[in-house]
Structure 1
Amino acid sequence: MTSIAPTAAATATSTAAGQTLAQKLIAHACGRERVAVGEIVTCKVDMAMFHDSSGPRRLQPMLEELGAQIWDKSRVVLVMDHYVPERDDDARRIVRIARDWAREQDLPHVYDSMGICHVVVPQHGHIRPGMLCVGGDSHSPTGGAFGAYMFGVGSTEMLGVVVMGEIWLRVPETIRMWWDHTLPRGVTAKDMMLHMLGRFGMNGGRYQAVEFAGPAVAALSMQERMTLSNMSAELGAQAGLIAPDATTTAFLADAGAPPVDPTPWFTDADAELTQHRFDAATLEPHVAAPHSPANSLGVSHYADTPIDVAYIGACTGAKLEDLRAAAEILRGHKVATGVRLIVAPASLRDQELARDEGVLQALMDAGAELFPTACGACAGYGDPMGDDITVMSTTARNFKGRMGSPSARVYLGSPYTVAAAALRGRVTDPREVLA
């Protein structure tokens, strides 16, 4: 580890030092050439995203009470992903409110039952380098994978954004997680994040902007980068940023996004920040034990823990590349006797691509149950985990009761690790299977 930490006085007064990626994005959003750490600034919002749980049922009555209108409907994205498919009267009520409001407002960007917001929104080109975005969900920092400054807000803050198109924020310090070399086979971005959580804890970001950089990060696909940025929320960061590059622009072109120049969006060599350094080549698969993502150690520490359910789902574990990883482990095999394998793809697009590639069939042949493309059990909805069972999951969180019963024990791992546990019936190093 190396540290480059400015003093508070230097941060406040220096005008000669370069700017971090976070500072450049915030300065752009507030119409300035540069900003200093600690400043409070008002920023224009380029895109506001919310879903059926966080959005209309809370925003609609507040807007009506104020007699206010949406500032720019073209910059609002609504996703129905938490309470779909509707399984009870409460879910039907919540989703009906969202659908009715979207129709009344004539919103142009509505994605109903098409997958999880943090995957669907990027797949449709809504998040691009240089933007400042907000989301009505704690995992909204996913947008930082695209070189955008994106963070989660509550309903009251979202109301202000929806009416004014602006939000204030305090310019954060930057913590850079620099990863050298490249990841070995069977080790993923999820393992990188679980390692960082085990080292720094769930408050390791302390409101700062966390930036992921280095050769190992540059080598990651966009979907893997999205996992890193998504789980910067678990580190306690406001944003999880990755400088955009050719990988970013290729993904966005495929998503049909308008062309954008990624070159302005990087951290200057002389910017003031704190840096921690890691060696990706020596990283092993990691597992987080109940009941915190920070209870994370190398997989060998939890090896042979029996499991009852393997869950491959959520925005951090069921994108196309995640499904491919699980299929690489399970193709031609059957899950262990007594183990239930649930697969809930993160989006309809990824599900169909996995079907076309034969990935989905390989998982089904192994004994997987296919669940809807929604937040599902990650949010304790759909088919929640029962009492006194042990779950191995690709989700981002394993808090007590998060996936259902408070007595369920949830372990977190990468799709490789979860699939290996399903195959063996116990926590297993996936490299043993791949070998």
Structure 2
Amino acid sequence: MSESVIRAQTLAQKLIARAAGRTHVQVGEVVTCAVDLAMFHDSSGPRRILPMLEELGAGIWDRHKVVLVLDHYVPAQDRDAQQIVQLTRDTARQWQLPHVIDSEGICHVVLPERGHLAPGMFCVGGDSHSPTGGAFGTYMFGIGATEMLGVCVTGQIWVQVPRTLGMHWSGRLAPGVSAKDMMLYMIGRLGMNGGQYQAVEFAGDAVSALSMPERMTLSNMSAELGAQVGLVAADETTVAHLRQCGVSPERLHDALQWHGDPGAAQERFDFDADVLAPQVAAPHSPANVHPVPDVGDVKPSIAYIGACTGAKLEDLRAAASVLRGQRVASGVQLLVAPASAREQRQAEHEGTMQVLRDAGAQVLGNSCGACAGYGATFAEGSIVISSTARNFKARMGPASVQVYLASPYTVAASALRGCIADPREVLA
């Protein structure tokens, strides 16, 4: 085997090598990486990390490289939540953290929105959907409290260099079909352990055509594939989006170099966007996936547009495009929880939120909400169609709650028709 083939690196290998101070790394190798940024929130942050830091007599290695987001327990619904939120705010002041985002949206959305991510970075997050950062050419993955303690004290973490699974999408999505449908289809085909804690990289013409919010949906739900990271190589779309987020030209000067080498080893899977239909994951697994026309006569009592994977500005616009000038069906409650306060303001300015309200939507706060099982969970026996990432039993309410996962297009169409419906028919 030639030296050039041996040295050919996937995007995941390149990102890890940079963080490890190496020119290249090999699959299976264990290396220590310097962390560029650590993100945690009110659930995964101070209430878990503070006691351990105090026991060690240690402090944060670099407070400028930490972002704390309050998004899980806000707005506080009970005394326990109030105490957690207060502890989080008190600790942020004690640690003098310069980057605190309080009740302004979900961590995976507000982190890039505030310009904290850029191609080439190596980041960790105290949340399982932290792979969302991979949409920006960033190696970002979720870790537990003990691992986060080590990062907070040392600024380093070890990783085993993963294999790369290449998800190649040819063609182009039809109107009313979205990245959420792509992701559900992949999870249905490969299963929730399909990623085997490896690196997943999304590529192909259909991926290149996606906006950054749609790419974020792919990377976000790589967690449901069981992957460590979900990567999209940086391109001009990435750079333009990050410039709008305020990322400086200096941080983007080498953005387009972050892609895999030709010939780098990966296990390849091929998909055709041209023929993809809207997908639904039935209870109680994101892998229990069916095309919408095959679901049958399911009548939801609640249609929920929320979470980091389903309530970004583009998701709100998708739902509004289905509901414009119409009202949801009798007996269906439409709930909308925008993922970011900043994006909600833009949706208000352009009239998108008014379209949703006119259709009968009740607007909730900019937080994880029902998706994380806090606050606005659902009542006994509810049938829910939701734009969230997970539908595990008892996650969003009592065990009797039946949650179907779908895109914002499909959630809106189902609210309108009173049964799980194909948004292509409504849009046509």
The AA in structure 1 aligned to 2:15 is: L
In structure 1, the residue matched to 2:377 is 384
- Which runs of 5 or more structure 2 residues have no equivalent in the other structure? none
User: Aligned match of 1:320 in 313, 317, 323?
Assistant: 313
Match of 2:116 among 114, 118, 126: 126
The Cα offsets for residues 9-45 of structure 1, whole Å up to 9 and x where unpaired, read as x9xx996341000000000000000000000000000
Secondary structure of the structure 1 residue equivalent to 2:257: coil
Q: State the match for 1:142 in structure 2.
A: 132
In the TM superposition, what is the alpha-carbon distance from 1:251 to its structure 2 partner?
1.1
Give me the whole-angstrom Cα distance separating, in 1, the residues matched to 2:405 and 2:205. Answer: 26
Q: How does 1:174-193 map to 2 (within 5 A)?
A: 174-193=164-183
1:211 to 187, 192, 201: 201
Give the equivalent residue in structure 2 for 1:289: 282
Q: Secondary structure at the match of 1:263?
A: helix
CA distance in 2, matches of 1:36, 1:237: 18
* Structure 1 CA distance for aligned equivalents of residues 296 and 208 of structure 2: 31
One-letter code of the match for 2:307? A
Runs of at least 4 residues off by over 3 Å = none
Give me the CA root mean square deviation.
1.2
| TM-score using structure 2 length | 0.98
* C-alpha contact 2:135 2:215 (8 A) present in aligned 1: yes
Q: Which string of whole-angstrom CA distances, capped at 9 and with x for unpartnered residues, describes residues 230-260 of structure 1?
A: 0000000000000001111111111111221
Q: Is the 8 A contact 1:312 1:344 kept in 2?
A: yes
Query: Given the alignment, which residue of 99, 107, 120 partners 1:109?
Result: 99
Which of residues 367, 388, 399 is equivalent to 2:360?
367
- List per-residue Cα deviations over 1:378-434 (Å, max 9, x = no partner): 111122111111000000000001111110000000000000000011000010100
8 Å Cα contact 2:7/2:24 also seen in 1: no
Return the match for 1:419 from 408, 412, 416.
412
> Residues 208-239 of structure 1: CA distance to partner in whole angstroms, max 9, x if unpaired?
10000001000000000000000000000000
Q: 8 Å contact 1:17–1:272 — kept in the other structure?
A: no
1:349-374 CA distances to partner (integer Å, 9 max, x unpaired)? 11001101100000000000000000
Residue by residue over 1:94-134, the C-alpha shift from the partner in whole angstroms, topping out at 9 and shown as x without a partner, is 01110000011110000000000000001011111000000
CA contact (8 A) 1:17 1:270 kept: no
The residue aligned with 1:5 is none
- Structure 2 match to 1:7: none
Q: Give the Cα separation in 2 of the matches to 1:202 and 1:385.
A: 25
Matched to 1:79, the amino acid is V
Equivalences, count: 425
1:350 aligns with 2:343: yes
Aligned counterparts of 2:194 and 2:40: Cα–Cα separation in 1: 26
**Is 1:395–2:388 an aligned residue pair?**
yes
Distance in 1 separating the partners of 2:351 and 2:295: 32
Q: CA deviation at 1:304?
A: 2.5
**Percentage of matched positions with identical amino acids:** 65
Q: Which residue of 2 aligns with 1:410?
A: 403
**Counterpart amino acid of 1:258?**
S
In the aligned structure 2, how far is the partner of 1:181 from the partner of 1:173?
A: 26
The farther-off stretch of 378-387 and 99-108 is 378-387
Q: Which secondary structure state, in structure 2, belongs to the residue aligned with residue 234 of structure 1?
A: helix
1: CA distance, partners of 2:197 / 2:369: 28
Aligned partner of 1:280: which letter?
A
1:99 alignment counterpart: 89
Q: Any conservation in 2 of the 1:392–1:418 contact (CA below 8 Å)?
A: yes
Q: Which residue of 2 aligns with 1:332?
A: 325
- Residue pair 1:304, 1:428 contacting (<8 A) in 2 also: no
> Cα gap change, 1:33/1:14 in structure 2, threshold over 3 Å: closer, same or farther?
same
Equivalence for 2:20: 30
Q: Which amino acid aligns with 1:178?
A: H
Letter in 1 for 2:129: H
SS in 1 for 2:225: coil
1:127 counterpart letter in structure 2: L
Structure 1 Cα separation of the partners of residues 206 and 347 of structure 2: 26
> How far apart are residue 333 of structure 1 and its match?
0.4
Match of 1:226 in 2: 216
Q: Provide the residue aligned with 1:433 in structure 2.
A: 426
Letter in 2 for 1:300: P
**Is 1:200–2:190 an aligned residue pair?**
yes
Using the TM superposition, give the Cα deviation of residue 303 of structure 1 relative to its aligned residue in structure 2, in angstroms. 3.8
Specify the SS of the correspondent of 2:255.
Answer: coil
1:19 maps to 2:12: no
CA contact (8 A) 1:210 1:240 kept: yes
* Residue 256 (str. 1) matches residue 246 (str. 2): yes
Q: Secondary structure at the match of 1:175?
A: strand
Could you tell me whether the CA contact under 8 Å between 2:41 and 2:68 is conserved in 1?
A: yes
**8 Å Cα contact 1:41/1:169 also seen in 2:** yes
Alignment pair present for 1:279 and 2:272:
yes
Q: Distance in 2 between matches of 1:107 and 1:219?
A: 38
